[in-house]
Structure 1
């Protein structure tokens, strides 16, 4: 499965605002230091050098910040160090000429911490702090011990706060990356589950429609072949019935492709009407007498519940016809107040439900493995249950119950719609 790679780096609004703030602080300190120098040393021969270096710093610092912000490095790489190197060299030369510019190092400390890896940034911050301290000591007038302690204190505080915030930001980035990865894994899992559910739905639909119809056609055509020479009229009847089954199967396949309800439930027909038609058709086509009985007052059922119960009836009767050796079968639809129950009973050979012996309902008997599992899957999506009662020689009763309460689970991705 393809996962998208890392997104291209884009300038963060907070980083841009911080860069503007640092540039403003640097330019303000630079202007203040220049004004102080010109006030106290108006006739100093170094004034042109001071003015030139100050102008260079006023240009290089914002340009370097702009390049760092609008041309970010590739993911996982640090910012380009050359703007910081140029500004640092110009500032060192300026401080050597005019110590009053030493306090311009405060924004440079943050720039160094943001630009360089921590092992390289800390020695540079220490060197800048030492240079500021020396510059303060070189200022004319009496030496103030507080001014010598202030630069290391400010540098240590700024470095500690910055490193703490960097660690917090790194934890946040790791958390976001973990959340994104988890979301991708969850999406992939949901896609896999949806695919499996859809496959299960397709398997159930094919088993209960196309496969059962083809099985009926095969039995009818085999019967026609056996009676073709001795009783042509009966053989032609079998062929006509097989053709009707094929036409009905074709209609079911088309409705299946378009994801529509079973044909028996089309045109507003109710479940009891569809089951009655199913019993009559099975009696006529398979020579297996099937009777239908309605117990209780019918209540409207959701389309998904009607489709599921009808498909279960079709699958169970197909198993009765193919494997039970029964002489009769019955469909009973009961409305019991809080649930609707469909019973499919036959008087066939029966089986032991806990075993894998062939039976009218055994999932292994059909060789396709979708009998009982498909029925249970349909009912599970509706919050219903399936029970099987049977014994060798005593027939089988398959009971499918769906709740009538509105709080039953909604069908999942693989539900019959």
Structure 2
């Protein structure tokens, strides 16, 4: 039950309570002894005025103000009962106010005290009778049943509202997962199409040009054929790199850490070059609650690791690379550290700003910024390179960098 479903019920109870207070106060004035009617009318008017003021100013959330108002209302009622025993009928709305404004068992205790006062007032007016005692007691029982029932209904409404919020959040997560799965499926389809069309066509062109070059190795058109073959080979390499970028990695079944270790044992394995992959095998190991980051984050980190290891193998002359994966609360951190020759950050930053070279580092920075993460590259000539990336599981603002990346000499 949503909170809005209780609004008509609450409104009806409030209006009924207001009418009950005004109607009973008027009845008390009418039934009062003529000699005491002026005092009764003054006290009844004061009680109604205080009640009206409290109905506007006092709220359950304002505890002190509400309890002071209820105490003032109770004192006026006791004074009115002392003058006119008929005012004992006003105890019924006081029951509801006590149960509504007082916490836990203070409400029922106040109801019991008010019942005793009402019974004594009735006895003072017409003697102690069964009806004078049973009437307030029955009214107190009805008020307790209604008040406690309303509290139970409010608790159930709050629990159902919380459940509804969780269901809405789960539906949003499911929709996001479906969108991610659809995007990955579309990327896989494009990769397959590129492989079956463009890549195969370029491979065939390269093969035919190679055959033509071998058929007439000293012909006048051989330099052009060789240039065309080299261009086709370069285009084929770019097409294959694009296919590898689009094709989703096998993360869903293996997980990011397993995928990194598989790469270390296959693609990254070569003589004189060792890649160590370090990370938590289980959520209990450590560093986090969830053992696996979201698919989008895992895919990005896998691509970044591939690029960083490739740079270490091709440009730094490194013999050993450590790829470390850490799960943090709400984020994942990847660090790739090599023992290569390093580079000069200022010179690389200048060439990158001018659009020359080091496209891989620029691509990594752009990818990290799109996912709202942070990037740090620490290096110095002759001291190796450390690339550290931290990506949040759910960036608050897509495309905003949450931790400024920097290239700082180690």
Look at both structures and tell me which one has the larger radius of gyration over its CA atoms. Answer: 1
TM-score by length of 2: 0.48
TM-score by length of 1: 0.48
Higher share of residues assigned helix? 2
Relative contact order, higher structure (CA 8 A, sep 6+): 1
